[in-house]
Structure 1
Amino acid sequence: MTATTLTASLAAAAAGGSPAPAVTTAPDELPLFVGKPLSGWSIGVADFEQSARLTGERATVPKQANSQVPASEVHALRATRTERGDALTLQWKESWFATLRLEGGAPVDLRPYLAHGTLEFDIKVDDLAKGGLSVKLACGDGCERKVNYLLPARALEGKGWQRLSFALNCFKRDDDDFSAVRQPFSVDTSGTGQVTIANVRVLKRGLPNAFCADPRTESVTPSPLLQTWALEWWIPRHEQKLAQVQQMRSSGPLPEVVFIGDSITQGWEDVGAPVWREYFSRYQPLNLGFGGDHTENVLWRLQHGEIDGIAPKVAVLMIGTNNTGDRMEDPRTTTEGIRRLITELRMRLPATRILLLAVFPREQKPGGPLRAINDEVNRRIASLADGETVQFLDIRHTLMNADGTLSADVMPDWLHLSEKGYRLWAEAMAPTLAELVRTTPAVVPSRAGAPSPAGAAPSSSP
C-alpha cells in the first residue's frame, strides 16, 4: 500500500465510521483554564519521576531518593496575563521530561468539538533555547495524542503573548475515543526553559493557525529528528557518518553489513561494543543507528547520503519502536514507514539483501499498550518479506522470559538492551546473518557510486 493509498484508506475509514454525535447540547466553548481551571479540575506539574499540584502560588516537583535526574528542577507558578493568577508559568531545568497539565476532574466529552473544533491558548515563550514544546491531550484509556511544536515555539521566544490554535483533528486518529477524556490539555517539554500559558479553551468552531503533521503520512515524510535533546547531536552524527562512509569509499574496506535503526542499534557502539566486535567485526560493519529515530528520520538519512557509494551484502533494519513510544502511532502507518524504507534501500542498494528484524518488545509485562502496538506492527511487517531480497527475523522470544515479561538484566529500562541483551541478539541473529552474507554476491561500487559486480570493469563515468 502506498502512502497515497494509505491516506485515502484512513480518510475513508474515518468517513465511514460511527455517525457524529449530536452537538446541540454542547456549549460552543469549553473553558479548560480561563483564570481558573474547569470546575472540578486541578493544575498538575510533573517531571520524569514525580508530580505535584498547584494549590497556591507555586508548586515544585519533589525529588525522590536516588533520582535518575538529580539535577532536574520543575516548577509551576501563578502568573499574570491581564490580572494576577490568570496565567500559569512552567519553569524547568535539565529535565528529561516536564509537563504542565489539567488533571483530576470528571472526564469531558470532546466528541461534539472534533469536526470543526480547535484547542486554543495564549502563550508567552520566555526561554526555549534549550527546551521544546509539545501540546497533548488524552484520547481514552491508555491513549494520548500530541503535536510536536518545538521549532515554531522557539521562534516565539521574546515576542510576548501569542495566540495558538490547533485543529482538534491534529489529535484524532481512527478509533480514538474522545467521549471521556481524562486529560484534556497539557504542555510537555524537556531540557531547560520557561513558558507561560493562559486562556486555554476548546471551541466548537475555530480557525487553526498552528501547524501539525498529518498523522496519516508522517511516518513516510522524510524529516530530521526534531526533539529538544537531539538537536545538538543528531545532524553532527549524520555528518560524522557521511565522513565515515567517504573514508570507507576512499581507502576501504567497504562494509559487508550495515545496521540501520534507532537507539537500540546505536547501542552497539556503547554497551554492546564488546559483543559487536566479537560477532560482527569480520564484516567491517557500519552502524547507522540514531537514538530517537522514527521511520521518517531514517528515511531522511538514507536520502541524504548515508548509504551512497557503498554496496553491503546485507542491511539489517530494525525501526518503529519510537513511532510507538513517542506518538502511539497506528501500526498501519508505522508499517507504511517501514515499507517505504525497504523501497528506498532496494532503490539505492539493489544488490543488497535486507534482514528485517521484528521490533523488540517494550514494557516489562505483556498486555501494555505500547507492547501491543509493537506486536501489531510486527504482525504486519512480516508480510513485507519475500524470502529472497527481504527476509524477516523475529527474535523477540530470546529477549523475554517464558511468561512474556522482560528482565532488568536484559532490558534495564524495559526498552534498551544491556550487554547481556546484545549478546542474546547477536547469538540469535548470527546464523541467519552469516548465511545471507555467504550467499550474497559481492558488489563493488563504481566511481560514480552505482554498484557493479565484483571483478567487472570499472565505470568510465567521471
Structure 2
Amino acid sequence: MNRFVLALAALLPLTAQSMDLDTGKPAKGWQIAVTDFEGEAKLTGDSVTVPKPANPRVPNSHVAARRGSDGALTLQFSNTWIAQLRWQDGTPLDLNPYLAHGTVEFDLNVVDLAHGGMKFKLGCGKDCERKVPFLFAGRELAGKGRQHLSFALTCFWREGDDFSAVNVPFTLEGTGSGELQISHLRFNKTGKATTACPDYRTQSVTPEPLQESWAVEWWLPRHEQKLAEVKAHREAGRRVDLVFMGDSITQGWENEGKQVWAEHFAKYNAVALGFGGDRTENLLWRLQHGELDGMAPKAVVMMIGTNNTGERLEDPALTVAGIRKNLDEIRQRQPQAKVLLLALFPRGEKPDDLLRRHNARINALLPALADGRQVVFLDIGKALTNPDGTLSKDILPDWLHLSPAGYDIWARSLEPTLTSWLTP
C-alpha cells in the first residue's frame, strides 16, 4: 500500500465497519446475476438456470445457481468457458476508506473442482476489473466443507484505481465443471488477511506454469513433448536454426499455419514453442525449464504479451517488463542467436477496441528493448489490418487468431529478415 492511499484513507470520513453483501446492508438493492459465456439470468427466487441462446457456441454447457435456506449461494457449472455469480445493480460502494486495512471475507465450500477452476473478481469502474486466481488453492479445499477466506482488499487494487463507486463489488467465477458454495460475503474496514494473492507488480516476471483449468491437463505434457522434439532433432544430427516462442498464435503454426510452415520454415528444422493462453510469466517458466536448451539456433522469433492484456489488462509497463525478462533469458541461453522481437498483433475488430488500444501502448514501448543488431524489433500489424484499421475475418476470424491466409502474411513479412539471418 503506498503512502497516498494510506493518507487518503485517513482523510475520508468514517464509514460502517463492514458491508454485508449477503443482505445488501448498508448498500441496498444488490442482485445476483448468474452468467455463462452466452447468457445471463437473475437469481430472484430459490434457483435459476442460465438459458441457452438459439444457436449456442457451447451447446453442452450448463450453468445454474440456487439459494439455500441459510442464505448460502451455490454455483453449479459444467463444460463452460465462464460461469459467474455476480453482485450488481446496487448502490455503488465507496471502498476507498477500506483500502488501507480492509478485507473482503466469505465462507467458501468447494464441493467439486476436479475438472474446473475458479477466480474472484472485483469491478472497479468502466473497463476495469481486478481478479485473484484460485485454481490450485481451490482444488485443495475440495471436500473440506466450509472454509473462511479473507483477502486484503489491496489484492484487487492497482496503482491509480478509483474505488469510490464500485458497481460490481464481487464476482465468483468458475470455468470448466464444478460446484462452489459461498456465504457470509462482506467487506471489513479493518481485517486480517489469511489468504495470499499474487503481487500484480511482479506477476509478469515471476515464472510459473499456466494456471487455467482448461490448460492444466495438457500444458506440462506439451512442455515435455517439446523437450522431446528438440532432443529428437539433436539425436538425428539435425541443426535447429530457427525457433518461434509465444502463445496460441505461435502454437497455431501447428494447425492453421501448418502448410505455410512447411513451405517457409521446415527447411530450417524450425521449432514452434507456442502454448495457448501463455502470458509472459508462463513463457519465462518454460525457458527456465529447458525449452531453449540443447540446440544453437541462429534466430529466435518471439511474440508474447497479448494474454497479459486479455487476462488482466495489465499496465503496459509491467507487460514490457515481462517481455524484457524473457528477452534477457533468451540472450543468456542462446547468445549467438539473433532475436526478432515482434510487436503484438492487432486484436479486436475495430481500432478503438479496448484491447487493441492496450496492446498498442505495449508496442510503443517495445522498440526500446531492441538494439537493431542482436535484437531487432518488427511490427507487421499494418499487413494484418484493412486500410481503415479494422480487421478482416479472412485474416483473423475471431479478431485474435490467424487464419491460414493470416499465417501466410506473417511468414512473408518475416522472410526478408530471416532469410538474411539464416542464409549461409
Please indicate, yes or no, whether the TM-score normalized by the shorter chain is above 0.5.
yes
Amino acid across the alignment from 1:87:
A
Preserved CA contact (<8 Å) 2:280 2:319: yes
Task: Look up the equivalent residue of 1:201 and give its one-letter code.
Answer: R
Matched, 1:145 2:130: yes
1:72 maps onto 2:61 in alignment = yes
5 Å-filtered alignment, 1:67-216, equals 67-79=56-68, 84-216=69-201
SS class of match (1:378): helix
Distance 2:123 2:133 in 1: 15
- The residue correspondences of 1:49-448 to structure 2 (distance < 5 A) are 49-79=38-68, 84-438=69-423
Deviations 1:173-225 (A, max 9, x none): 11112121121100112110000000111111111111111111111111011
Q: Residues 29 and 326 of structure 1: is their aligned pair in 2 closer, same or farther, counting only changes over 3 Å?
A: same
Q: Any idea what SS the aligned residue of 1:292 has?
A: coil
1:414-437 per-residue CA deviation (whole Å, 9 max, x = no partner) reads: 111111111121122221221222
2-structure distance, mates of 1:389, 1:220? 22
Instruction: Say which SS state the counterpart of residue 128 (structure 1) adopts.
Output: strand
C-alpha deviation, 1:38, in angstroms? 4.8
Residue type of the partner of 1:137?
Answer: L
Cα deviation digits, residues 231-253 of structure 1 (max 9, x gap):
00000000000111111111131
> Deviation digits for residues 408-460 of structure 1, max 9, x if unmatched?
22111111111111112112222122122237xxxxxxxxxxxxxxxxxxxxx
CA deviations over 1:263-317 (Å, ceiling 9, x no partner):
0000010111111111212211101000010111101101111111111010000
The 2-side partners of 1:108 and 1:68 are apart by: 35
- The answer for unaligned runs of 5 or more in structure 2 is none
CA contact (8 A) 1:358 1:395 kept: yes
Per the alignment, in what secondary structure is the counterpart of residue 216 of structure 1?
coil
> Structure 1 residues 34, 159: closer, same or farther in 2, change over 3 A?
farther
CA distance in 1, matches of 2:19, 2:422: 61
Partner of 2:32: 43
SS of the residue corresponding to residue 436 of structure 1 reads helix
RMSD: 1.6
Partner Cα distance (1:317, 1:54) in 2: 46
CA distance in 2, matches of 1:219, 1:412: 28
| Superposed displacement of residue 36, structure 1 | 8.6
Aligned residues: 423
Q: Indicate the residue corresponding to 1:452 in structure 2.
A: none
Q: Deviations over 1:81-122 (max 9, x none)?
A: xxx151100000011111111012232211111111111111
Aligned counterparts of 1:33 and 1:282: Cα–Cα separation in 2: 62
Name which of structure 1's ranges 36-45 and 258-267 shifts more when overlaid on structure 2.
36-45
5+ residue gaps, structure 1, are 1-10, 440-462
* SS of equivalent residue, structure 1 residue 133: strand
Cα 1:123/1:35, change in 2 over 3 Å:
farther
- How many Å separate the matches in 2 of 1:344 and 1:106? 48
Distance 1:37 1:99 in 2: 24
Measured in 2, the distance between the counterparts of 1:135 and 1:310 equals 42
- Report the Cα distance in structure 2 between the residues aligned to 1:18 and 1:158, rounded to whole angstroms: 39
Q: How far, CA to CA, are the matches of 1:383 and 1:210 in structure 2?
A: 38
Q: Deviations over 1:338-397 (max 9, x none)?
A: 000111001000100100000111111122322222111111112100001100000111
Calculate the TM-score normalised by the size of structure 1.
Answer: 0.89
What is the alpha-carbon distance in structure 2 between the residues aligned to residue 128 and residue 36 of structure 1? 31
| Residue number in structure 1 paired with 2:16 | 27
Decide which moves more: 91-100 or 274-283: 274-283
Q: Secondary structure at the match of 1:170?
A: helix
Contact 2:24 2:30 in 1 (8 A): no
CA gap of 1:159–1:341, structure 2 versus 1, over 3 A, is: same
Q: Give SS of 2:104's match.
A: strand
Provide the identity percentage.
Answer: 53
Contact 1:166–1:209 (Cα < 8 Å) also in 2: yes
User: CA contact under 8 A between 2:117 and 2:174: conserved in structure 1?
Assistant: yes
Give the Cα–Cα distance (whole angstroms) in 1 for the partners of residues 97 and 392 of structure 2. Answer: 44
Native 8 Å contact 2:121 2:173 kept in 1: yes
What is the CA–CA distance in structure 1 between the aligned matches of 2:94 and 2:25, rounded to whole Å? 20
Task: Please say if residues 35 and 199 of structure 1, whose CA atoms lie closer than 8 Å, have aligned partners that are also in contact.
Answer: no
Change in CA separation of 1:311 and 1:351 when aligned onto 2, cut-off 3 Å: same
TM (norm. structure 2) is 0.97
Verify the 8 A CA contact 2:41 2:48 in the aligned structure 1.
yes
CA distance in 1, matches of 2:314, 2:49: 32
In structure 2, the CA distance between the partners of 1:368 and 1:178, relative to structure 1 (3 Å rule), is farther
